Amino acid sequence: MAKAVHMEVVQKMTKRFFSILACAILVTFSWFAPARAADNTDDLEYGAALVVEIMDLMHEYHLSNPDAAVLTQGAIQGLLDSLEDPYADYFSDEELKVFIDSLNGDLVGVGIEVMAGEQYPYVSNVIPGTPAERSGIKACDIIVAVDGQNIAGWSLDDVVNKIRGTIGSKVILTIQREDNVLKVGLKRADIHVPSVNHEMLAGKTGYIHIASFGSSTSQEFDDAMRSLESAGMESLIIDLRNNGGGYLDAAVDILGNFVTEDTLAVRMVDGQGKREILTLDKTTADAPPMVVIVNELTASASELLAGALQDYKIAALVGNVTYGKGVVQNIIPLSSSGALKLTVSKYLTPMGHDIDKVGLIPDHYVLVQELQREVAWQILHPEDVPDLTLDLSTGRAVLNGRALENALDIEKNNSAYAMPLRQVLEAMLYQVFWQDGLIKVFSDHEEVWSIKPSVGGLGDRSGVFVKDGVSYLSENILRQLNIDISKEKNKITLTRLR
């Protein structure tokens, strides 16, 4: 997997890809002692001498008179490529510092997170205590120019690179706020981006999002737990979506909040055999009812944490199958300068599951990203039946009293309506799968309905059809799935009956 650059500006999934992380994503690693010379075996001595001789001859005789540094970098890259390990890498001293600082959320910038808009990016979050906050920049401000240069249509990476710079240097952002256009001068500074954010949801459900596992993540998580517990938290959602990993020790330490001392956290397997990593004593109370949200970019250390919580039946996993990175890298400082990042072991979950290139299987599949947190909350509150209200003129939807960001595309034919199948059924706590041309619907782990959809429109007798790549279902199918339909003027409310 290519390295993803950790920036102060956030990008996530299609329109929102995190740039706060500057680690090579999907990394779980620790530190080794500085590298020492290898054993003087004949093969290594011969190989090293051969490489040096070839480099000397290239430097002396090749028409292009290649630079020694270029040859050295090529030799290093060739060695790395020979491993066929996508996670192996070499860092210069400068690259290593950028890598570690970014993993820990330390960067130089102005303190904003942005998301892609239709033409211009907009501020999604202002980090407290930063130049941006002190200058009055607000969430939802639209950035139209940087240093006087219009950025319409720029990629988020290009915007990030334009805003960032050296510490103490200045940048001018042109901001559109409603009908006003403002120019804000900012001095770039050291910024620490927290890897943990939390809030209290309805029903005394705590919510903690972990973006990565850096050096301060465990302490930030402990602080979030104390804050939520003091506010009366009765259940907990941990969000590990798009978390590509980080320090293994941080994941193990967070697990210690929910298990007793000396609980097996992970099984490590390397060339020397197996070893076990245990949790430390954190004198914690019993774990609250818990759900962990995961997706296809949940990887490495985040899979370690989610897998252990699932193995011990402490938490249910909601979302999609995780990335599947069950190998561990160590960063090995070199005696000359720089460092190597090498895969040194694989890990298994406490119950011995090998998730490498397989991933963790969620207990409850929810593929619509916007619904994942809502479904996680619903699972923790089974006493509240899910209800979804749709505005038929706009497609706007409200699930369990909370407005969804994206509108639903509703098909209409006279007085009959058809709604997007996956969005509606997942909101009603069903799981939806495609298999051999069939749509199969599950309630918990029991298949309750299946059908082969037609290609056409609302007039299809089956009540299920595919149009422009989207599956729709009609009102009569909803009733078959024990979903009550209530119509009032231009609105439909769907409620799953017990």
Is the pLDDT reported for residue 18 higher than 50? no
Regarding beta strands 470-474 and 416-420, do their DSSP bridges make them parallel or antiparallel, or are they unpaired? antiparallel
211 and 289 inside one domain: yes
- Taking all residues of the chain, what is their mean pLDDT, rounded to a whole number? 88
Is the pLDDT reported for residue 33 higher than 60? no
Task: Give mean pLDDT, residues 392-409.
Answer: 91
Sorting pLDDT into bands at 50, 70 and 90, what band is 376?
A: very high
Residues 207-225: tens digit of each pLDDT: 999 999 999 999 999 999 9
For 58, residues 6+ apart whose C-beta sits below 8 A from its C-beta are 66, 71
Q: Which residue has the higher pLDDT, 272 or 462?
A: 272
263 and 313 inside one domain: yes
Mean pLDDT comparison of 30-34, 293-297, 392-396, highest-scoring range: 293-297
| DSSP category for residue 314 | S
Is the pLDDT reported for residue 5 higher than 50? no
Q: Is residue 412 part of a domain?
A: yes
Q: Is residue 269 part of a domain?
A: yes
Q: Two tokens at 391?
A: 């505005």
Contact 188, 7 (CB under 8 A): no
Q: Is residue 88 part of a domain?
A: no
Helix (H) or strand (E) run with residue 344 in it: strand 339-348
Q: Is residue 15 part of a domain?
A: no
Lowest mean pLDDT among 326-340, 381-395, 409-423: 409-423
Is the pLDDT reported for residue 356 higher than 90? yes
Whole-angstrom CA distances from 116 to 125, 298, 462 are 13, 22, 40
pLDDT of residue 41: 63
Sorting pLDDT into bands at 50, 70 and 90, what band is 152?
A: very high
Q: Is residue 425 part of a domain?
A: yes
Helices H, strands E: what count in the chain? Answer: 11, 34
Sorting pLDDT into bands at 50, 70 and 90, what band is 4?
A: very low
Distance CA 68, CA 61 (A): 13
Task: Give mean pLDDT, residues 345-351.
Answer: 95
Domain harbouring 237, CATH code: 3.90.226.10
484 and 352 inside one domain: no
Sorting pLDDT into bands at 50, 70 and 90, what band is 23?
A: very low
376 φψ region: left (φ > 0), alpha (ψ -120 to 50), beta (else): alpha
Distance CA 287, CA 282 (A): 12
| Total residue length of the chain | 498
Q: Which residues are catalytic?
A: 300, 311, 325
362 and 221 inside one domain: yes
Distance CA 4, CA 21 (A): 7
Q: Which residue has the higher pLDDT, 414 or 243?
A: 243
Tally of domains within the chain: 2
357 and 409 inside one domain: no
Regarding beta strands 470-474 and 464-467, do their DSSP bridges make them parallel or antiparallel, or are they unpaired? antiparallel
Task: Give mean pLDDT, residues 127-153.
Answer: 95
277 and 321 inside one domain: yes
Q: Is residue 104 part of a domain?
A: no
- The DSSP code sequence of 98-124 is HHHHHHTTEEEE-SEEEE--SSS-EEE
Q: Which residue has the higher pLDDT, 289 or 42?
A: 289
353 and 437 inside one domain: no
pLDDT of residue 493: 95
pLDDT of residue 29: 61
The single-letter code of the amino acid at 317 is L
pLDDT of residue 34: 55
- Which one, of 137, 97, 141, 130, lies nearest residue 6 by Cα? 97
pLDDT of residue 283: 61
Percent of the chain with pLDDT over 90: 72
Distance CA 329, CA 84 (A): 14
417 and 365 inside one domain: no
Residues 429-455: tens digit of each pLDDT: 999 999 998 999 999 889 999 998 887
Q: Is residue 435 part of a domain?
A: yes
Task: Give mean pLDDT, residues 19-45.
Answer: 53
pLDDT of residue 157: 86
Place of tokens 């947190």: 373
Distance CA 44, CA 343 (A): 20
Whole-angstrom CA distances from 491 to 116, 388, 407, 477 are 31, 10, 14, 18
Sorting pLDDT into bands at 50, 70 and 90, what band is 360?
A: very high
Lowest mean pLDDT among 107-116, 164-173, 407-416, 436-445: 407-416
Lowest mean pLDDT among 19-23, 112-116, 132-136: 19-23
What is the per-residue burial (b if ≥16 Cβ within 10 Å, else e) of 114-142? bbbeeebbbbbbbbeebbbeebebeeebb
Contact 269, 324 (CB under 8 A): no
Sorting pLDDT into bands at 50, 70 and 90, what band is 463?
A: confident
The single-letter code of the amino acid at 430 is Y
Q: Which residue has the higher pLDDT, 117 or 227?
A: 227
- Give φ, ψ of 140 to 5 degrees: 85, -5
pLDDT of residue 21: 29
Q: Which residues pair with 181 in a beta bridge?
A: 176
- 211-213-235-309 Cα dihedral, nearest 10 degrees: 120
Sorting pLDDT into bands at 50, 70 and 90, what band is 31?
A: low
Distance CA 345, CA 273 (A): 10
311 and 390 inside one domain: no
pLDDT of residue 25: 36
Domain enclosing residue 264, as ranges: 196-327+346-369
Q: Two tokens at 364?
A: 């409850």
Sorting pLDDT into bands at 50, 70 and 90, what band is 238?
A: very high
354 and 389 inside one domain: no
Q: Is residue 28 part of a domain?
A: no
- Which one, of 311, 297, 265, lies nearest residue 372 by Cα? 297
- The DSSP code sequence of 380-392 is H-TTS--EEEEET
247 and 276 inside one domain: yes
Sorting pLDDT into bands at 50, 70 and 90, what band is 42?
A: confident
pLDDT of residue 77: 96
- Give φ, ψ of 161 to 5 degrees: -65, -30
365 and 462 inside one domain: no
Q: Is 282 exposed, middle or buried (0-12, 13-18, 19+ CB in 10 A)?
A: middle
